[in-house]
Amino acid sequence: MILGVLVFSIIALFPTLRYYSLSPEELSKKPKEEVRRMLKRALALGLDLKGGMYLVLKVKPVEKENVKEARNRVLEIIRNRIDQWGVFEPVIQPAGDDRIIVQLPGVMDRERARELIGKTAVLNFHLVEDIDNTKKILDKIDDALMKSLKESAESPLKRLLFLYRGDIVFEEVYLDSIKNMLKREEIKKITPKDKIFLFGKSFEANGKKLRSIFLVNREPDVKGRYIQNAIHSVYQGGDPALQNTPVVNLSFDRRGAIDFARVTGENVGKRLAIVLDSIVQSAPRIIQKIPTGNAQITGIESMEEARDLAIILKAGALPAPVEIEEERSIGPLLGKDSIKRGIQSAVLGGILVMIFMVIYYMFAGTVANLALILNLIIVMALLSAFHGTLTLPGIAGLVLTIGMSVDANVLIFERIREELRAGKSLRAAVEAGFSRAIITILDANLTTIIAAFVLIWFGTGPIRGFGLVLALGIAASFFTAVFVSRTIFDYFLLVKKVKKLLI
């Protein structure tokens, strides 16, 4: 069992050790995707250690709108923008009915982040150029690119693109290079003045992250602010093939209905892109002229997707101002400094405690020290296995665990000393010491674990990390004291038949 725990710990810790043992140069050599995969499996560092921004936003719905609905919409809008920005592993989550927590690791550009979150969403409809014309323009771009980048291989742009379910797509890793190509002056001249390339949302297919690219009208064909409502639902019309599939019902006000009727009437068969903050959310095909201002979007894959689309469509109609209630940012240098100080404290604290234990309990102290080291390994392993996050208070919790977790062993050893003093033989004293101390250890340590759970409940990120480490540390110390120390004692008493041990 002990061996099992040890093996489990080492396996759980392996990705973490591998990732953090690599130097920055080695990391930069590896492909981005592999680094991301490694990082995902390694023990994550909290924002306070790796640097970044933490924001708490309060949503203030206008008029008499449901707060939760407004919050969900803002959540989608912000997620959309942050995806576009390309922050690595952002966290955007609701908190309570009207709050949103945003965590942006590695981001220190506070002004940019505030602008990203604070500005009003823009939702519009743009007609999409048909795929043949788009391909023709892409060919022209490639010709021009080859002329200006003489050494480059054939069709520098088009070789990154391929067709997927009728859309032109590419792997997300090439997003920056494609953007750079399209930004070049000579390329801007080739793209028709009234058109613009826009990218779709990131999605996953065959294990790869893909983005689509659309050539759309530069000016919106229908403005999103004319949207009155958008509701997701299931299809109940006449087409048997669409029965019970998810749909979004969209309604425009009178002004919007006029525009929508004209655009749909003139462009049956073309696609109309729904664009939120320059990102194409969906590009449904116009099947027929819609004169009433009540449209239905079909062909949506899941109810979830329909819900998201309805939320986004409402962004055109209803702004929901947010207020930044809490904003914290930590620079990467301070984070690194914190890690360094944390490790120094843990090492020095550990050494001092171990020296003390050996002086005070001699042989038994050595056993306790082994248990302590194993204890720390187990805590880190459990934290990795649970995908926990190591925060600065978490490191402090680890240091505290070093001091507190010898308690279980101390309780046992003191008991053994007492039993020896009472005249018992070594074996009987060890036996009695362990069995009597266990109840006390359970009683005493459970209260600290209760306190740790209150901490996990009360705290946000960093404090939660502390509570988690504290709880794991105490639980692991019970295991190591009761099983590991016991096994070592038994080995010396029963197998080696030692008659005298220094306790």
Partner 1 sequence: MEFFKTPNIDFLSKRRFFFTISGFFFLFSIILIFTKGPSYGIDFKGGTLLHIHTNNDVSPSDLRGALGEIGLAKSEIQDLSLKEHIIKYSEDIEPDSILKFLTKKLNTKIEIERTERVGPRIGHELRLKAIYAVLIGMLLMLIYIAIRFNLPFGIAAILAIFHDVIITLGVFILLSRDITVPVIAAFLTIVGYSINDSIVVSDRIRENLKKRQGRFIDIANRSINETLSRTIVTSGTTLLVLIVLLLLGGPLLFDFAFALTIGVIVGTYSSIFIVGALVTEYEERKKKRGVRKR
Minimum CB separation from partner 1 for residue 17, in Å? Answer: 24
H/E element, 251: strand 246-252
Q: Which of residues 151-210 bind partner 1 (CB under 8 A)?
A: none
- DSSP-derived 3-state class of residue 93: strand
What is the x/- site pattern for partner 1, positions 405-444, by CB under 8 A?
-xx--xx--x--xx--x-----------------xx--xx
Instruction: Kindly provide the b/e burial profile for residues 421-441, where b requires at least 16 CB atoms within 10 angstroms of the residue's own CB.
Output: eeebebbebbbbbbeebbeeb
Residue 67 found at the interface with partner 1 (CB under 8 A): no
CA–CA dist 26, 30 (Å, integer): 7
Within residues 304-333, the interface with partner 1 by CB under 8 A covers: 323-331, 333
**3-state SS record for 114-177:** HHHHHCCCCEEEEEECCHHHHHHHHHHHHHHHHHHCCCCCCCCCHHHCEEECCEEEEEHHHHHH
**Which of 66, 180, 447, 487 forms a contact with partner 1 (CB under 8 A)?**
447
Binding to partner 1 (CB under 8 A): which residues in 459-488?
459-460, 462-463, 466-467, 470
DSSP code per residue over 252-264: E-HHHHHHHHHHH
Closer to partner 1 by Cβ: residue 266 or 325 = 325
In the complex, least distance from residue 443 CB atom to partner 1, rounded to whole angstroms: 5
Taking CB under 8 A as the binding criterion, the range among 36-44, 257-265, 337-345, 483-491 that sits at the site for partner 1 is: 337-345
Cβ proximity to partner 1, 241 vs 359, nearer residue? 359
Residue 499 CB neighbour total at 10 angstroms: 9
In the complex, what is the shortest distance from the CB of residue 428 to partner 1, in angstroms, rounded to a whole number?
Answer: 17
In the DSSP assignment, the letter for residue 29 is H
Of 105 and 462, nearer to partner 1 (C-beta) is 462
d(CA 200, CA 212): 5
Closest CA to 53 of 24, 21, 76, 87: 87
Specify the stretch interacting with partner 1 by CB under 8 A; choose among 140-148, 265-273, 283-291, 353-361: 353-361
- Report if residue 450 touches partner 1, rule: CB under 8 A: yes
Give me the amino acid identity at 272: L
Q: Which of 130, 176, 304, 337 binds partner 1 (CB under 8 A)?
A: 337
- Which one among 378, 402, 420, 501 touches partner 1, defined by CB under 8 A? 402
Binding mask 84-123 for partner 1 (x = CB under 8 A): ------------------------x-xx------------
